[in-house]
Chain A
Amino acid sequence: MIRVRELSKTYRVPVKKPGFLGSFQSIFSREYKDVHAVSGLSFDIEAGERVGFLGPNGAGKTTTLKMLAGLLYPTAGSIEVGGHRPQDRARAFLERITLVMGQKQQLLWDLPARESFELNRAMYGVERGPFKAALDELVTMLRAEPLLDRPVRNLSLGERMKCELIAALVHRPQVLFLDEPTIGLDVEMQVQVRQFIAEHNRQTGATVLLTSHYMQDIAALTPRLLIIDGGKLRYDGALAALAQRVAPERRVVVRPADPELAALGFVAHDGKMVATVPSGDVNRLVQRVLSSHPLADIGIEDPPLEEVIGRVFREAVA
C-alpha cells in the first residue's frame, strides 16, 4: 500500500543573528541554512497494517507524514501510496487517504460539526445514502450524537477530536495518516479514541500510520514500529522485538513490599519491590523469592515502553 524509497526533505531556512542589530541586518543580507528534516528514509507498509511512527520532537515524523499525504514535495526519493505519487494530488489518491492532525483542525469553527461533514460530503462526492450510513456508523462508534448540532467552538477538546475523526473518515478512506490524534486529551478520551481507531481498523481494514508521543497509543494500536530520529530510520519492526533487542531485561515485581528483598537486588517502588534482571535470570530470581516468600504475589513485566524508546533515541544520538 505504501512504498517509500530514499525519501529526503530539506528545508532552506533563514538564519538571523540575535538581537535588534541582527534583525536590521537581515533586511539587507540574509543567510540561509539547509535543514535536513528527512534523509534517505525507506520502508514499506502493507494494506491493513497499523504502524506507529515514533521519534523525538523534530525527528521528521510530521514532515514524512505530510509528504505521504501529498502536502509537501519531497526533495529527493520516491513515495507511492496505493499506486499514486502523493505530490501529484490526483483526485483518486486524495479520495483514498485522510489526514488527522491533533494540533490543527479542519472543522468549521463557527458552525455545528454537521455542516463540516456535509461540506466534506460535497467535496468527496459521496452520495447521500452511503454518507448517511458512514456518518451513523462513526457517530455510534464515537458516541458523538449530542455533539453534532453544537457550534464547534463550544465543544471541548476531546469532543472536537471525535468530530475531527468523523470529518476525516466520512468518505471511508483506505489509508489513515494520524498525527498525534490524542494530544492534549484527558486519559478517558485517549482511551475512547484508541478504541475507536482499533475498531475502525478492524471493521474497514484501512491502513493506519500513527504518530504519537503517548506510548499507550503505540502499545495499544500499532504492532509495528518505525522509529526515526534526525530524519533517519532507526528501527523498523515489531514492538515486542524492539523491547527484546534494546532492553533484554524483564522486571520482576513482588507484592507486598518487603525490604528484606533488597538483598536479592529489589528496590522499593510504590508499595512493591521491583528488580530488573536479564531475561535468562528471571526463573532463578523468582524461585529464590518464592523460597523465602511463598505467599508473595509475583509479576513479570517488560520494561516500560517509554524506557525502551528512550534507549533507542539515546543509542541513535550516541
Chain B
Amino acid sequence: MLRVPLALARVAVMAAMQYRASFLAEMAVGVLAAAGVAAPLFLVYAHVPAVAGWSFEEALLVTAFFLAYNAFVAGIIEPNLGAVVDGVRVGQLDYMLIRPVDAQLLLSFQKVAPAAAWELLASLAVGGVALSRLGPPTPMHALAALAMLGSGVAATYGLWLLVTCTSFWFVRVDNLRFLLGAITDAGRWPIGVYSGWVRIALTTVVPVALVTSYPAMALLGRLDLELALGSVAVAAASLIVSRLVLLRALAHYTSASS
C-alpha cells in the first residue's frame, strides 16, 4: 500500500537534491522565513503581556504550529498543486493520468521540497522553547494536539486541492493560490485575536486556525470536545468535497494540442 508513496518520495527527494546550490539557497530561505514568522510575535509581546487572553509562550505554540503548516505548504502543497496548475495549462498531466495509481495521490505527492524541512525544524525548536516555559503537556493533551494537527492539515489540504481544481475550468488560477496563501497567513496569530465572521471564516471557509490555534489549544488543555469534533467534521467535509470536485475536474481535462 505504501509502495507508491515511498517510491514517489524517494525520487522526489533525489530530484530536489540534484542541484546543490539551489538546495542550499532554499534551506537559507527556509531559515529566514522561519525567523520572519516568529519576529512579529516578539515585537508585539515586547509591549503587552497578553493578547486576547494568550500569553507570549502560548502564542509561541501557535507560531510553532504555523511554522509546521508553512513547512507542509512549502514542502508538499506548492511543489505539487502548483505544478498541477501549470500541467493543466500545457497538458503535462497526460503521463500522470495514464498511471494505474490514484490520480489524487500522484497530483498531490509526486514532488517534495526538502528545504521546507528547515521550517519544520524551526517549528520543533519554537514549540520546544514554548513548552520549556509552560511545562510539558499531559499525554492526553499531546495526543489531542496531534489529532488536531492531522485534522487541520487535512482540512487545509482539501482547500488547496479545491482551489487547484478550479484550474481545470479556468486554466490560470495563480492569483487565487496567492490569495489563499495571503489569507492563511492570518493563522500565525491565535484565533482568539479575531472575532465575529473572521473567526468563523478562519475555522470553516479557510480553516487555517484548525491547523495552528486548535492544536495549540489542545496542547494547553483549552480545546473542548465540541470544537475538536467540529475540526474533524470540517476536515472530513473538506476532503470529501475536494475529492468529488477533483473527479469532476478530471473529466474536464482537455490536455493540450501536440
Contact = CB atoms under 8 A, between A and B. Distances in A.
B20 interface: no
A128 to B, nearest CB: 12
B251 interface: yes
Given A110-B18, A119-B8, A122-B7, A71 B100 contact: no
Contacts of A73: 251-252
A118 interface: yes
Given A66-B94, A97-B98, A111 B11 contact: yes
B109 interface: no
Contacts of B8: 119, 122
A305 B100 CA distance: 38
A111 B7 contact: no
B7 A119 contact: yes
10 contacts: A66-B255, A71-B94, A71-B98, A73-B251, A89-B97, A99-B95, A99-B98, A102-B258, A124-B99, A180-B258
B255 A72 contact: yes
Contacts of A179: 258
A72 B11 contact: no
Interface of B: 3-4, 6-8, 11, 14-15, 18-19, 91-92, 94-95, 97-101, 103, 251-255, 257-258
Nearest to B103: A89
A105 B19 CA distance: 21
Contacts of A104: 91-92, 94-95, 258
A123 B253 contact: no
The main secondary structure of chain A at its interface with chain B is: mixed
A191 interface: no
A95 interface: yes
A289 interface: no
Interface in A189-205: none
A98 B95 CA distance: 10
A91 B101 CA distance: 7
Given A11-B254, A125-B3, A71 B11 contact: no
B100 A111 contact: no
B254 A72 contact: yes
A91 B97 CA distance: 11
B4 to A, nearest CB: 5
Nearest to B171: A14
Contacts of A121: 7
A103 B258 CA distance: 7
A108 B15 contact: yes
Interface of A: 11, 58, 62, 66, 69-73, 87, 89, 91, 94-95, 97-99, 101-106, 108, 110-111, 115-116, 118-119, 121-125, 151, 179-180
Nearest to B106: A123
Nearest to B105: A123
B95 A118 contact: no
B258 A94 contact: no
B14 A122 contact: no
Given A71-B98, A123-B7, 8 more contacts: A58-B257, A101-B258, A104-B91, A110-B15, A122-B4, A122-B7, A123-B99, A124-B100
Nearest to A61: B258
Contacts of A106: 95
B3 A122 contact: yes
A116 B7 CA distance: 10
B18 A115 contact: no
Contact of A70 (B6, B92, B98, B101): B98
Contacts of B3: 122, 125
B98 A119 contact: no
A11 to B, nearest CB: 6
Nearest to A106: B95
B6 to A, nearest CB: 8
A102, A111, A116, A123, most chain B CB atoms within 10 A: A123
A47 to B, nearest CB: 20
A123 B98 contact: no
